[in-house]
Chain A
Amino acid sequence: MSSLLEVKNIKKHFPLKNNQLFSKEKHVLKAVDGISFSVKKGETLGLVGESGCGKSTAGRVILKLLEASDGEILFKGNDITHVRGEEMRKLRKEMQIIFQDPYASLNPRKTIEQTIIEPMKIFNVPRNERNKKLERLLDVVGLQSHHKHRYPHEFSGGQRQRIGIARALALDPELVICDEPVSALDVSIQAQVINLMEDLQKEFDLTYIFIAHDLSVVHHISDRVLVMYLGEIVEIGDVHDVYQDAKHPYTQALLSAVPEADPHHEKKRIILQGDLPSPANPPQGCKFHTRCSLAEEVCRAEKPALKQVSTSGQMAACHFAKEVVG
């Protein structure tokens, strides 16, 4: 299968305001600092990391809601990095986003009907087709037809997220970026929404980039997983490989924090020392060395490259991970 989306070395740097008068020194916050990956049609790529590691920024750069500072974004083989204006607007039909906060992502002054129909209006879908599609979307996301005249504040968080999903699907997109779609919901509702998203993926043949910080959710929904730390990829690979045998100490620490349902299974928690360093002033060498239990001189001096660490294509960026060729 060919890749639907290919991202090559994208960077997003935000210039920081300098408060000192006449100072020429310029600071930049490297939210995303050179990440590359590809997503195949129909698969789900999980994007995990602590808050502030740049995963949401990466999602927005791919959707071109934010302009990339550097790098290339290929969608269906076409370079869309510098596509702007009307051409970009047409592309939006094929890539959509589901937002994190269902309370903030729906316009409070619009009814559900208006919200879901709007994308179709923008792309001039005929009126009778629009209404048919609306009914169908309400049905597939588990809302009832009489809900459509209501306003967002009359719904619960889970229902609102369903509305957000219906809006994202209104244009039959191929790629959907899910920006922590369940982290604002109650745990009982999370499972429902995740199941709904899985069903929709099968039914509409969707490709997901699933951004989350909840590792068990990512484990459940993803085919492959990408772990980010301070704007860089530390590990990427098949979800089973990464969860069974993580090669990077950061991934290992993250996974050790996931609670398990088996009370007899004892495992070693790896507690990370210290806080996440500021992305405006990241450590030299390996960015993780300040919190890594394995860190040695080489980590402080030299930045590890992403290298293949298993035969199935798992890659990690650590000096101590054994490189496997083939």
Chain B
Amino acid sequence: MSLQPNSITNPDLSETKNAKTAKPRSLWMDSLFHLLKSKTSLIGFCIIFILIVTAIFAPLIATHSPTEQSILNQYQTPSSEHWLGTDALGRDIFSRIIYGTRISIQIGVIAVGISMIIGVLLGSVAGYFGKWADQIIMRFVDILLAFPSILLAIALVAVLGPSLRNAMIAVGIIGIPQFARIIRSAVLSVKETEYIEAARAIGAKHGRTLMQHVLPNCIAPIIVQATLSVGTAILDAAGLSFLGLGAQPPTPEWGAMLSDGRAALQNAPWVITFPGLAIFFVVIGFNLFGDGLRDALDPKLKK
């Protein structure tokens, strides 16, 4: 066969000739542009950014050791020495909150990682293969969903034993149903598109079709759900720690700090106010950012 160049004129190609040097702009760049235009998601992004920087540079930012006790200094009001006061054992609350960001990020990443990996696996298999695989997986997910989530987490920690690690596992498990359902529905809609049929027509096996064609096109809802879940996961883990089922003393975990300060609520309100505010800001930060991401990644909203 000869290597004849095509002789047909292509006026529809001329427009792109000028843009020869332009770099390919992926869909992600478009989305990022949309994301940064929204003020609320920018606020969310800033909160998350501050959180991460704080976690990395915690030893430099903290004024005291988070675990150093000083009985003589118990329940100090906020002052220039102790910016946010001290707790029942005289520990500096500001420093404990700063170190607590490390734990919160750890919880967010690990717990959501667990939910995401298992949820994406279950949801994509259920959505892609359908039929009995779908029935079995989704009924299992329904069972998980039937329990009130915090109750299920308490039950899981009760079985595994109270510790921060087990709390993260429990929070991860209760997040699975949401991921599985969202991924399943995304896979169901992507599965019907012509490019999936095209993948079958060129002889792609199921594994390849799922990994190369279906899942990459479901990534937007996965990212949105992951971002929104981080806030919930931190909140749930703080709840478990508050109940004494998560982080154990003297770990500077925000939920555990709330629990410690509970007794002195009337005399020393700062002990629980500031960890509570920290939780509030982190959760709202992830929620704002997640909402912004959802809008930015939704192709229907684009012009």
For residue A136, CB closer than 8 A to chain B, the reply is: yes
B8 near A142 with CB under 8 A, answer yes
Identify the closest chain B residue to A86 (Cβ).
B205
30 CB-based A-B contacts, threshold 8 Å: A65-B197, A65-B201, A89-B203, A92-B201, A92-B202, A97-B201, A99-B198, A100-B194, A104-B193, A104-B194, A104-B195, A105-B194, A105-B197, A106-B198, A107-B199, A107-B216, A111-B24, A119-B203, A122-B203, A139-B3, A140-B5, A141-B6, A143-B13, A144-B17, A151-B26, A154-B25, A159-B16, A167-B202, A196-B8, A204-B1
| Chain A interface residues (CB < 8 Å from chain B) | 63, 65, 89-90, 92-93, 96-97, 99-101, 104-111, 118-119, 122-123, 136, 139-144, 146-147, 149-151, 153-156, 158-159, 164, 167, 170-171, 188-189, 192, 195-196, 199, 203-204
| Chain B interface residues (CB < 8 Å from chain A) | 1-13, 15-17, 20, 24-27, 193-195, 197-205, 208, 212-213, 216-217, 219
Shortest CB–CB separation between residue B196 and chain A, in angstroms? Answer: 8
Identify the closest chain B residue to A162 (Cβ).
B10
List residues of chain B with CB within 8 A of the CB of A106: 195, 198
A158 near B24 with CB under 8 A, answer no
Select B24's contact among A90, A141, A149, beta carbons within 8 Å: A149
Select B194's contact among A101, A153, A154, A203, beta carbons within 8 Å: A101
Q: Output the residue of B7, B20, B27, B202 with the most chain A CB within 10 A.
A: B202
8 nearest A-B residue pairs (beta carbon): A92-B203, A119-B202, A105-B194, A104-B194, A109-B216, A142-B6, A107-B195, A89-B203
| Alpha-carbon gap, A153 to B195, bound state (A) | 14
Given contacts A89-B205, A105-B198, A151-B24, contact A158 B12 (CB under 8 A): yes
B8 near A122 with CB under 8 A, answer no
A-B contact count (CB 8 A): 114
| Alpha-carbon gap, A144 to B18, bound state (A) | 13
List residues of chain A with CB within 8 A of the CB of B17: 144
List residues of chain B with CB within 8 A of the CB of A164: 198
B24 near A140 with CB under 8 A, answer no
Given contacts A89-B203, A149-B24, contact A108 B198 (CB under 8 A): no
B27 near A153 with CB under 8 A, answer yes
List residues of chain B with CB within 8 A of the CB of A122: 202-205, 208
Identify the closest chain B residue to A200 (Cβ).
B6
List residues of chain A with CB within 8 A of the CB of B6: 139-142, 196, 199
List residues of chain B with CB within 8 A of the CB of A101: 194
Shortest CB–CB separation between residue A116 and chain B, in angstroms? Answer: 10
List residues of chain A with CB within 8 A of the CB of B13: 142-144, 159
Identify the closest chain B residue to A198 (Cβ).
B8
| Alpha-carbon gap, A235 to B208, bound state (A) | 42
Given contacts A109-B217, A142-B13, contact A99 B194 (CB under 8 A): yes
B4 near A140 with CB under 8 A, answer yes
| Alpha-carbon gap, A143 to B13, bound state (A) | 8
| Alpha-carbon gap, A159 to B15, bound state (A) | 11
Shortest CB–CB separation between residue B53 and chain A, in angstroms? Answer: 32
List residues of chain B with CB within 8 A of the CB of A109: 27, 216-217, 219
A159 near B195 with CB under 8 A, answer no
B20 near A146 with CB under 8 A, answer yes
Identify the closest chain B residue to A195 (Cβ).
B8
Select A118's contact among B16, B193, B197, B204, beta carbons within 8 Å: B204
